[in-house]
Amino acid sequence: MSNGNGAPPEAGPPPQLNVLAQYTKDLSFENPNAPASLAPQAQQPQINIQINVGANNLAENEYEVALSVEGKAEAAGKLMFSFELVYAGVFRIMNVPKENLHPLVMIECPRLLFPFAREIIATSVRDGGFPPLMLDPVDFVSLYRQNMERQAEAQQTAAIKPS
């Protein structure tokens, strides 16, 4: 298709995703049983990690996205260490269709933040006296889908319950 002079139709401005700022919003590391927890252990610790994503609209095209990572390591029923990190960024998103905005904010923005959060956690665990904890990559698409399914189920349950 052409615009009458043989040229293709004008496309709108390209989508833009800019990182305006990124920062540690909250960080906590606990090693409550030190120095005993630093001694060689008979077995590998059990490590449990929880990851969540939240977002707030700050202005017309600006969003704060917060990546929350909580974890703890236990061995022989004793807590070796625990941590909580909220790492956030402010993103300017322009020229993105409305139907694509929510997935972009909840998938691509945390994907950009994750390597920095991973480094902060590895350094905090190392500075706590343990080998650095290198988090595996996160599939933010699956995490997004799980959260959307959970929200849909909660809405269905709320709609079924009598008031």
| pLDDT tens track for 139-161 | 999 999 998 888 888 888 877 76
Is the model's pLDDT at 1 over the cut of 60? Answer: no
Q: Region 70-98: what's the mean pLDDT? A: 95
| pLDDT tens track for 73-86 | 999 889 999 999 99
User: Residues 119, 120, 121, 122: what is their CA dihedral angle, to the nearest 10 degrees?
Assistant: 50
The CA distance from 144 to 91, in Å, is: 18
Which pLDDT does position 86 carry in this prediction? 98
- Eight-state DSSP code of residue 8: P
Exposed, middle or buried, 69 (CB in 10 Å: 0-12/13-18/19+)? buried
Q: Region 25-39: what's the mean pLDDT? A: 92
**Percent of residues in the chain assigned helix, strand, coil, to nearest 5:** 35, 35, 30
Q: What count of residues does the chain have?
A: 163
Residue 20 belongs to what H/E stretch?
strand 16-30
Please report, as a single letter, which amino acid is at residue 114. F
Which pLDDT does position 8 carry in this prediction? 54
Is the model's pLDDT at 6 over the cut of 70? Answer: no
**Torsion angles phi and psi, residue 7, rounded to 5:** -90, 150
Mean pLDDT, the chain, whole residue set: 90
16: left (phi over 0), alpha (psi -120 to 50) or beta: beta
Is the model's pLDDT at 44 over the cut of 70? Answer: yes
128: left (phi over 0), alpha (psi -120 to 50) or beta: alpha
**Torsion angles phi and psi, residue 18, rounded to 5:** -120, 140
Which pLDDT does position 2 carry in this prediction? 47
pTM: 0.83
